[in-house]
Amino acid sequence: MIKLTRLNHQVVAINPDHIAWIEVSPDTTLVLLGGDKIIVRESLDDLVAQVIQFRRKVRGTEPYRLGDAGGDPPRSVPPPAHHNPGSRE
């Protein structure tokens, strides 16, 4: 989820996967897949940056920072060994 601010200063959290497109005319308007529209204070560039950061976190490509999720940093897990169904291991 990304946090955005409506024009009335109400903070909302939006799932970026539900954004169909964003238009700026002059206010930044998110058009969601279901057709709902949300007008926010953030600029188009800010929204794009937040979506990119969200995607990096979801995919695990963003560097770990202390305090992100609490607890210990994630550990590397080796990939599972390839199993060959034809072998007799």
Instruction: Record the pTM.
Output: 0.64
Q: What percent of the chain has pLDDT over 90?
A: 63
Q: What pLDDT does 2 receive?
A: 96
pLDDT in tens, 38-69: 999 999 999 999 999 999 998 887 665 655 55
Q: Which residues contact 13 (CB under 8 A, 6 or more apart)?
A: 1, 2, 3, 4
Residues 80, 89 contacting (CB under 8 angstroms): no
